[in-house]
Structure 1
Amino acid sequence: MDTHFLHGFSPFLFRFSETLSLRWTGAAYLVGFLLVFAMLRRQAARGEGPFQRQEVSGFVLNTGLLGVMLGGRLGFVFLHQWEDFSRDGSVFFQFRQGGASALGAVLGVLAFSVYFARQQRRPWLQVTDSLAVLAPLGFLLGALAVFMEGAPLGQVTSVPWAVRFPAEVGLPGFLPIVTPSFDVSTLAYAPGHEVAALARADATFLAELHRILPARHPVLLYQAALEGLLLGGVLLTVRALWRSRPVGLLSGLFFALHGALALACLPFREAQPNLSFAAQLEQGVLPPVLMMAVGAAFLLSVLGQRPDAVGVPASVKLEG
């Protein structure tokens, strides 16, 4: 008997009507921003880090809107929808259709952090160090949310923890692993959770789904574990144990380790067909390698400081 898990989660955490709902990805954004606000607020209350207590709410709000959401949306439009956007600029504002670039969000947060530091006359590496420790939380929540929405992104495999994704049946160009007993075109564009609901109500259809659907690596769970839990654990440990670390060390470790861990996940990810050249670059080897190079540059810079400069406190006491 097939033991691979059949993904049947709804992409909606709450659905009040056809037009009013909360998807897992939206909930991930909301929970992430609230947790970052609470953590930075607590840090500022202790007089640590680059933020004054009254600055935290505005910084988190602007980072979320201008950095994560605007940067992520800009990245997605430029990399995935450039041709449509060049013909119709309103494509950018079609938020309900979804679409955000992780690379664009990272660049957006980095750009706003530099802007904030210049405006407030703070060392910008202290700002990025504070955010570097919290960024893995966003990767963790984001990867789990996309997994819950049922994206079949992993390579086909036979490992016991592989997952079958019903959403795959409704995708254009779906190729069953064996000849199905029904016309799969009848389920074209059908949402995965609706296909799974039909299967739960019909044991024969459930068995057929297990027969025709390939089992895939749950690559998003790998990303959540590596880029979320492992990366966050390493950065928190370094921050706790190395109190006199040089400013910028956490930023360098973040970029270097995130690039390496993202690279480690690539062999388990299914190549996506019919993507633009820019989109293929975003999902390929280049972004992790660039992040590793940026991280290495940070680390060489901060660790190459004079011995008397390395002991600069990593957090500063602020009045207010």
Structure 2
Amino acid sequence: MLVHPQIDPVAISLGPLSVHWYGLMYLIGFVLFILLGRYRIKHNPHSVFTYEMLDDALFYGMLGVILGGRLGHVLFYQFGYYLEHPLQIFAIWEGGMSFHGGFLGVFVAMILLARKHNLPWLAVTDFVVPLIPPGLGAGRIGNFINAELWGRPTDVPWGMVFPYVDELPRHPSQLYQFALEGVVLFIFIWIYSSKPRATGAVTGMFMIGYGVLRSFAEFYREPEDGFMGVLTLGITMGQWLSIPMILAGITALIWSRRQTVSTQNNPRKRKKR
């Protein structure tokens, strides 16, 4: 049996200024986004993205992640709590970000970015989504440091006690999600996107991949208290939110395949491209 190391959530204190590990994890995610994005642009001369667009994508994406992620957490998971403590909505350094809310926020941000640069929306998201998993992994490490989003009770040898919760050994589900969302998903999407794909295919595969991996991880993660925990049919909020994401991903793949077939069967469209 393991015991959570109870790491101080504050990484650095300089007088009244405190830098939290959770915030540092987001910073790491944004830095990795830029580094990986520059690598993709450099090694793909046919990319629709430029370095300037990548900087714009980071700015727009940061707003989408922070605003969408926080609002998603408030609305999807602990609406009752934040209704009673509205000022806590702004305490994002304490954790509490919804991926699904952040995902919607980023997609809205990418729509604005696509309009700014006069590009197809899915062409923009196809470039961006392979850069997202490392940031997701960093965020899960932040969850682990904060000792939040712990797992369900278990008797596996690596079960971990979270003293702030109780004395029961639990799945370290934050680390499971780090491995699945941050490592497995990154490797899969990075390899998949390394070959030419029809517009929308990479985006669709990302949505399916994340939705499936997140749904699997939810079986080991303790449902959150508050407004939403386990819902209809014993399915958690995280799983319910992943279902439309998977369906949207399947739709994007079907659409991209039909667009490819249509282009192949129409010589005029090939010339225009």
Shorter chain as normaliser: what TM range? Answer: 0.7 to 0.9
1:115 pairs with 112, 117, 120, which one?
112
Residue 50 of structure 1: aligned partner: 48
Residue 227 of structure 2: aligned partner: 276
Q: Which amino acid aligns with 2:59?
A: L
Query: Does residue 1:79 correspond to 2:87, yes or no?
Result: no
Which protein has the larger Cα radius of gyration, Structure 1 or Structure 2? 1
- Local SS of the residue matching 2:170: coil
Q: Give the whole-Å Cα distance in 2 for the aligned partners of 1:160 and 1:278.
A: 27
- Local SS of the residue matching 1:304: helix
Residue 197 of structure 2: aligned partner: 245
Q: Give the whole-Å Cα distance in 2 for the aligned partners of 1:94 and 1:151.
A: 15
Residues 201-258 of structure 1 deviation map (CA, whole Å, 9 limit, x = unaligned):
xxxxxxxxxxxx1111111111111122111111111122xx3321111100000111
2:207 pairs with 248, 255, 264, which one?
255
Q: Are the structure 2 counterparts of residues 20 and 50 from structure 1 closer, same or farther at C-alpha, using a change threshold of 3 Å?
A: same
Q: Give the whole-Å Cα distance in 2 for the aligned partners of 1:153 and 1:97.
A: 15
2:20 pairs with 19, 23, 43, which one?
23
- Local SS of the residue matching 2:7: coil
Q: Are the structure 2 counterparts of residues 90 and 264 from structure 1 closer, same or farther at C-alpha, using a change threshold of 3 Å?
A: closer
- TM-superposed CA distance for 1:143, in Å, is 0.9
Q: Which amino acid aligns with 2:223?
A: A
Q: Which amino acid aligns with 1:59?
A: A
Q: Which amino acid aligns with 2:52?
A: Q
- TM-superposed CA distance for 1:91, in Å, is 5.1
Q: Which amino acid aligns with 1:258?
A: Y
Q: Which amino acid aligns with 2:227?
A: S
Q: Are the structure 2 counterparts of residues 265 and 81 from structure 1 closer, same or farther at C-alpha, using a change threshold of 3 Å?
A: closer
- Local SS of the residue matching 1:247: coil
More contact order relative to length (CA 8 Å, sep ≥ 6):
1
Q: CA RMSD of the aligned region, Å? A: 2.7
Preserved CA contact (<8 Å) 1:139 1:227? yes
Q: Give the whole-Å Cα distance in 2 for the aligned partners of 1:84 and 1:222.
A: 27
Query: Does residue 1:305 correspond to 2:259, yes or no?
Result: yes
Residue 271 of structure 2: aligned partner: none
- TM-superposed CA distance for 1:113, in Å, is 0.3
- TM-superposed CA distance for 1:301, in Å, is 1.1
- TM-superposed CA distance for 1:149, in Å, is 1.8
Which structure 1 segments of 5+ residues have no match? 170-212, 312-320
Identity of aligned residues (%): 29
Preserved CA contact (<8 Å) 1:45 1:53? no
Q: Which amino acid aligns with 2:261?
A: P
Which structure 2 segments of 5+ residues have no match? 266-273
- Please give the TM-score of this superposition, normalised by the length of structure 1: 0.73
Q: Give the whole-Å Cα distance in 2 for the aligned partners of 1:113 and 1:57.
A: 12
- TM-superposed CA distance for 1:118, in Å, is 1.5
Residue 145 of structure 1: aligned partner: 142
1:217 pairs with 163, 171, 182, which one?
171
Q: Give the whole-Å Cα distance in 2 for the aligned partners of 1:270 and 1:89.
A: 25
Q: Give the whole-Å Cα distance in 2 for the aligned partners of 1:34 and 1:50.
A: 21
Q: Give the whole-Å Cα distance in 1 for the aligned partners of 2:264 and 2:158.
A: 45
Q: Give the whole-Å Cα distance in 2 for the aligned partners of 1:152 and 1:53.
A: 36
Residues 31-65 of structure 1 deviation map (CA, whole Å, 9 limit, x = unaligned):
1111111222333345443322223223212311x
- Local SS of the residue matching 1:16: strand
Q: Give the whole-Å Cα distance in 2 for the aligned partners of 1:229 and 1:43.
A: 18
Q: Give the whole-Å Cα distance in 1 for the aligned partners of 2:95 and 2:172.
A: 21
